[in-house]
Chains A and B, each alone.
Chain A
Amino acid sequence: MKIHGTHQIHAPVDRVFAALIDPQILQRCIPGCESLERTAENTYVATMKAGVGAVKGTFKGNVRLEDIRSPSHYRMLVDGKGGPGFVKGTGEFDLSGNGGVTDIAYTGDMQVGGVIAGVGQRMIEAAAKMLAAKFFTELEKQLNPNDAQR
């Protein structure tokens, strides 16, 4: 499954890029992320309790960042397993700054398998979009903590 989208963050591109590769900030932004530990250069192991509505599962997986070209581009590789199934995918993030505003364009290619893919197939795309929106809303909050409306 391919997903893509753009999101605007009200912060300069340098700050946004730094946040996107900062494990502490990522842990707070990734919906349901319980831990994100660095195991090697740009490699992390993550535990997340991800879900939508009543449907929830605990996933454990590896996250690796590649092709880091600060402050405009990086690639994220995710490989996770959990009770309801497995997720494997890559995502490309492209940032472009315009004064105090940064546009993030992302494209992802994900494979989802197991029970969640069998019965949840018709909802996976909507769930992925919802989790992505939550991620960026939280990122905005982390970067602009005093601006409650955003």
Chain B
Amino acid sequence: MIPASFDYKRANSLDEALSLLAQNEDARILAGGHSLIPAMKLRLTQPSLLVDIARIKDLSYIREEDGQIRIGAATTHYQIESSELLKQICPLLPACAAHIGDVQVRNKGTIGGSVAHADPAGDWPAAVLALNAELVVASKNGERTIKADEFFVDLLTTALEPGDILREIRIAKTNGQSAHAYTKMAHPASGFAVVGVAANLTLNASGGCERASIGITGVSAKAYRAGAVESALAGAALNEQTIANAAAHATDGIDVNGDLFASADYRRHLAVVYTRRAIEAAIKSVPPA
């Protein structure tokens, strides 16, 4: 279908994008366009102005700085998937990127766009939560940082205010032995997560779990941290039994969604299975000492 008519402006800097946004409250940010454009073509959304930030050079980067990994919001999924630096220091990010859509989507879609859109079945929100990321937001009134835990508010709803632009994703580098994995059951047609689980474990010297951080997407109106799984794993030895017991809490306190493809009960079951698999895969990813 053909979208309703709209204006298009390409911003050359973040400041220019911010002032274009401020002039029109109906304006939307365009980055990769792989969520926004399909919705516009179906006329589910009809912004009067698109502000394109995809070509702002200093919004697309992956670097280490001050003990943090910093990723520009307009960095594409493929740039993250193929980053040698990230494969070494934060393998959850390339692993998650590889699960997104298809090659065409990964070449254009951006991490910032996906996080800001907050699709309930998007892959990035799970990883961003599991890594305790901080999201740096630019606005006319300056910059602020929002913790991932506080960023995702509800279905397609984030802590971003009108006029805000998500600028950077920051992840603290951890000391000690980390174990990462992302497991996903993809919808066969759309590729979206029916259930997606990002596991970020810190292992102690004896191979047990010191700390666990689990992000789950696709299950509820928004991605969430599986707190009950995390506390069951913290301080535990990691064996088949402890992992299965912890994973059983994957949807504790969560309002699970159903749709034509997967009922709420089936999703609840899948969440437990994929949480167990994510924890097992994370442990397996660590080479034996």
**Contacts from A to B (Cβ < 8 Å):** 52-57, 83-84, 115-116, 119-127, 129-130
Q: Tell whether B246 is near chain A: CB-to-CB under 8 Å.
A: no
**B259:A121 contact, CB within 8 angstroms:** yes
Known: A52-B155, A126-B220. 6 other contacts (CB 8 A): A56-B44, A115-B43, A122-B120, A122-B260, A123-B155, A123-B156
Q: How far is the CB of B56 from chain A (nearest CB, A)?
A: 21
Q: List the 3 shortest-distance A-B pairs measured between CB atoms, nearest first.
A: A53-B156, A126-B221, A54-B45
Q: Tell whether B97 is near chain A: CB-to-CB under 8 Å.
A: no
**A122:B192 contact, CB within 8 angstroms:** yes
**A55:B258 contact, CB within 8 angstroms:** no
**B43:A130 contact, CB within 8 angstroms:** no
Q: Mark B250-289, 1 if CB is under 8 A from A, else 0.
A: 0000010111110000000000000000000000000000
A52 is contacted by which of B28, B156, B220, B261 (Cβ under 8 Å)? B156
Contacts of A127 in B (CB 8 A): 155
Q: Is the interface of A mostly helix, strand, loop or mixed?
A: helix
Shortest Cβ distance from B44 into A: residue:
A55
Per the bound structure, the CA–CA distance linking A99 and B58 in Å amounts to: 60
Q: Tell whether B131 is near chain A: CB-to-CB under 8 Å.
A: no
- Supposing A122-B259, A126-B257 touch, asked if A55 and B120 sit within 8 A by C-beta, the answer is no
Most chain B CB neighbours (cut-off 10 Å) among A84, A122, A126, A127: A122
**A53:B259 contact, CB within 8 angstroms:** no
Per the bound structure, the CA–CA distance linking A115 and B259 in Å amounts to: 16
- Supposing A54-B28, A54-B45, A55-B39 touch, asked if A130 and B154 sit within 8 A by C-beta, the answer is yes
Per the bound structure, the CA–CA distance linking A126 and B221 in Å amounts to: 5
Sampled A-B contacts (15; CB under 8 Å): A52-B156, A54-B36, A54-B45, A54-B47, A54-B117, A55-B39, A84-B44, A119-B38, A119-B44, A121-B259, A121-B260, A122-B259, A126-B221, A126-B257, A130-B221
Contacts of B154 in A (CB 8 A): 130
Q: How far is the CB of A42 from chain B (nearest CB, A)?
A: 32
Shortest Cβ distance from A5 into B: residue:
B255
**A129:B157 contact, CB within 8 angstroms:** no
**A130:B155 contact, CB within 8 angstroms:** yes
B45 is contacted by which of A56, A125, A129 (Cβ under 8 Å)? A56
Contacts of B221 in A (CB 8 A): 126, 129-130
Most chain A CB neighbours (cut-off 10 Å) among B117, B118, B121, B259: B259
Interface residues of B in 143-159 (CB under 8 A from A): 154-157
Interface residues of B in 28-74 (CB under 8 A from A): 28, 36, 38-39, 42-47
Shortest Cβ distance from A57 into B: residue:
B44
Q: How far is the CB of B229 from chain A (nearest CB, A)?
A: 22
Shortest Cβ distance from B221 into A: residue:
A126
Per the bound structure, the CA–CA distance linking A61 and B76 in Å amounts to: 42
Per the bound structure, the CA–CA distance linking A126 and B117 in Å amounts to: 15
**B156:A55 contact, CB within 8 angstroms:** yes
- Supposing A122-B259, A129-B221, A130-B221 touch, asked if A84 and B43 sit within 8 A by C-beta, the answer is yes
Interface residues of B in 192-215 (CB under 8 A from A): 192
Shortest Cβ distance from B156 into A: residue:
A53
Per the bound structure, the CA–CA distance linking A77 and B259 in Å amounts to: 23
